[in-house]
Chain A
Amino acid sequence: MIKYLYIVKTQIIKSLTYEFNVYGNILMQTIIMITSAYFWKALYRNQSVVAGVDEQSMLTYIIISSALSVVMFTNVERRIEQSVIKGTVATDMMKPVNLFGVYLAEDIGSIIALIFQNMIPILLIGGIFIKIPKMADIRDLPLFIFSVLISFLINWLIAALFGMLSFTAVNIDALIQVKKHLLRLLSGSIIPIWFFPEIVANVLRALPFVYIYQLPISIYIGKGDRLEQIAQMKIQFLWLIVLFALFFAAQHRITRKVLVQGG
């Protein structure tokens, strides 16, 4: 365990070396926040409440969504792809560590660095230019944090499963992009799925994606009653178990298939 903690620490040091990298994401998130703020303001002009959510809560929603995108950072798929293409998977394999434990520790390290480099600036920008994203009920904070942790794990497992494709497909650059944008759309991070047609929304509720963004943010803005939230968290937890089982099965098969390119 200590060794993985040390990998987290090393990764924080590494992430802080390339400070400049992070400004792009702050800019992008600012643009997304500001444009969606105008979008929602225009939409709420004729109606004060949609699906039990008012304009102010919706503005909080988009700020928290942008802030959460920092926690949903994953590099594992690219990390696997690069280590397969460049053959560095060899140097990871010869150490007495679990390969995916290392990848998870690295991503956690990056996220800790990003919370300071990215999340705090995003919250500040959102707070100054849109509104202060206050939580609906502060007593929901433990539930919110718990839900974010599961979201993070679900998101990470999906990314890791995705990355494993590169052990067979080698180059998955385009797929990574598709996955990234599809996930943003299907997870309700930009438009909550309660705005979608009922059939589409129902399909999405059965998939794991809405439990990455929409569920924790809903808890944050206090949408729905406690019973409804708990019911959704059960599905979230179920997905975590399903994805973990898939991951575990795939991980065993994949290390046998390691193919080292070059030399």
Chain B
Amino acid sequence: MIEVKNLSKDYKLKHKEPGLKGAVKGLFKPGFETVHAVKDLSFEIGEGEIVGFIGPNGAGKSTTIKMMSGILTPDKGSVLINGEDITKHRKTVVRNIGVVFGQRTQLNWDLRLGESFELLKHIYQIKQDEYDKTLDELDAILGIKELLNKPVRQMSLGQRVKGDLVASMLHSPKVLFLDEPTIGLDVSSKYALRKFIKEINALRKTTVILTTHDLGDIQELCERIIIINHGEMMEDGNLSEIVDRIAPYKTLVVEFYDEEAPEIEKCEMTEHTGNIAKYKFMKNETTAAEIIAHLSKVKTIKDVSIEETGIDDIIRVAYTLM
């Protein structure tokens, strides 16, 4: 479906020295600094996959998405969507893709939402019956029809993102790119957005590629993640496999009746405050039940709970490794 081969992009940034002196100097002798935004990235994405791109700010995620959606031209390498090179056949390939940027809208500020959709209908040359059908389908998921007569400039962020999602799906693209779609959204809007992604993926087999900093998005949506940092690929694979590999541990939280907490074999006490102690253990070495059994031999336990390693731990570990 999507093939990315040796993708690279450099930015030339004007290097300015601080202060007035630097500004004047920059006028006569501008220094340039080359930033390698994306370095030699290669991967393949199959039909119907939902892939999460994660990485710290400035890692090159957005640059990659922009190259994949034909907005930026790569310096080296190629992006094939359905076997067609996006830089060479931009106008035909973009018919197969939809893009939503959480931070900017493709809707027209001065128009009503419905007018923006009509414009897109004509730009993509969508037939009327097809357009009606798609709009009904999307309305069933997002409830967009009540907004059709509202000018975009009067919309809340949540409504605007809904509008953007519908706008990106009107021409029934095979691939949907979402660049930080949940940024700044409240809980219910986030929920609606995730539901939307899951449903269009299930209904239409739309391939979804998203970048996000919201770990909830990843946990709920993505089976596969690609971690990028400094423009290079760090990890690419199944989410739970990566979790197992990078952070193969769990934490057992035990509450006792007094402040004394015993040390136990095969696990490490990471925290001990008041009556509560935390024991970190490797999943392949021991189990929670075993530790509880050991503990209860020496002390009376009031309560236990298990902290799964969340995706946020993975990201923290992955980012610091780099």
Interface residues of A (CB under 8 A from B): 2-3, 6-7, 10, 13-14, 17-18, 86-91, 93-98, 255-256, 258-260, 262-263
Complex Cα gap A122–B111 (Å) = 28
Contact A93 B70 (CB under 8 A): yes
Contact A91 B101 (CB under 8 A): yes
Given A95-B123, A97-B91, 6 additional A-B pairs, CB 8 A: A7-B122, A90-B71, A93-B70, A93-B90, A96-B95, A260-B71
The chain B residue sitting closest to A18, CB to CB, is B110
A256 contact set on B, CB distance < 8 A: 73
A89 contact set on B, CB distance < 8 A: 71
Instruction: Mark each residue of chain B from 152 to 179: 1 if its CB lies under 8 Å from any CB of chain A, else 0.
Output: 0000000000000000000000000001
B123's partner among A6, A255, A258 (CB-CB below 8 A) is A6
A91 contact set on B, CB distance < 8 A: 99, 101, 104-106
A260 contact set on B, CB distance < 8 A: 66, 71-72
Interface residues of B (CB under 8 A from A): 11, 62, 66, 69-73, 90-92, 94-95, 97, 99, 101, 103-106, 108, 110-111, 115, 118-120, 122-125, 179-180
Complex Cα gap A98–B94 (Å) = 12
Contact A258 B62 (CB under 8 A): no
List 18 contacting pairs A-B, 8 Å CB cutoff, sorted by A.
A2-B122, A2-B125, A3-B125, A6-B123, A7-B123, A14-B108, A17-B110, A86-B104, A91-B101, A91-B104, A93-B71, A94-B70, A94-B71, A95-B120, A96-B124, A97-B123, A258-B72, A263-B179
User: When A90-B104, A96-B91, A263-B103 are in contact, do A14 and B71 touch as well, CB less than 8 Å?
Assistant: no
Prevailing SS type, chain B contact patch = mixed
Complex Cα gap A18–B151 (Å) = 13
User: When A6-B119, A263-B62 are in contact, do A94 and B69 touch as well, CB less than 8 Å?
Assistant: yes
Contact A263 B108 (CB under 8 A): no
A94 contact set on B, CB distance < 8 A: 69-71, 94, 97, 99, 106
Contact A10 B119 (CB under 8 A): yes
Complex Cα gap A10–B117 (Å) = 11
Complex Cα gap A205–B101 (Å) = 49
A258 CB to nearest B CB, Å: 6
- Residue with the highest number of chain A CB atoms closer than 10 Å, among B73, B97, B115, B122: B122
A262 contact set on B, CB distance < 8 A: 103-104
The chain A residue sitting closest to B96, CB to CB, is A96
Contact B101 A263 (CB under 8 A): yes
A255 contact set on B, CB distance < 8 A: 73
Q: Which 8 A-B pairs have the closest CB atoms?
A: A6-B122, A91-B106, A14-B110, A93-B71, A96-B91, A90-B71, A3-B123, A3-B122
A10 contact set on B, CB distance < 8 A: 108, 111, 115, 118-119
User: When A90-B104, A262-B103 are in contact, do A96 and B92 touch as well, CB less than 8 Å?
Assistant: yes
B115 contact set on A, CB distance < 8 A: 10, 13
The chain A residue sitting closest to B102, CB to CB, is A263
Contact A90 B123 (CB under 8 A): no
Complex Cα gap A97–B101 (Å) = 19
A98 contact set on B, CB distance < 8 A: 91
- Residue with the highest number of chain A CB atoms closer than 10 Å, among B72, B95, B125: B72
A215 CB to nearest B CB, Å: 35
A18 contact set on B, CB distance < 8 A: 110
Complex Cα gap A96–B95 (Å) = 6
Contact B104 A263 (CB under 8 A): yes
Contact A96 B103 (CB under 8 A): no
The chain B residue sitting closest to A5, CB to CB, is B122
The chain A residue sitting closest to B112, CB to CB, is A13
Contact A263 B180 (CB under 8 A): yes
B149 CB to nearest A CB, Å: 14
Complex Cα gap A10–B70 (Å) = 25
Complex Cα gap A91–B71 (Å) = 8
A96 contact set on B, CB distance < 8 A: 91-92, 94-95, 123-124
Complex Cα gap A96–B84 (Å) = 15
Complex Cα gap A93–B104 (Å) = 14
B69 contact set on A, CB distance < 8 A: 94
Contact B101 A90 (CB under 8 A): yes
The chain A residue sitting closest to B116, CB to CB, is A10
Complex Cα gap A97–B106 (Å) = 14
B154 CB to nearest A CB, Å: 12
Complex Cα gap A7–B121 (Å) = 11
The chain B residue sitting closest to A255, CB to CB, is B73
B124 CB to nearest A CB, Å: 7
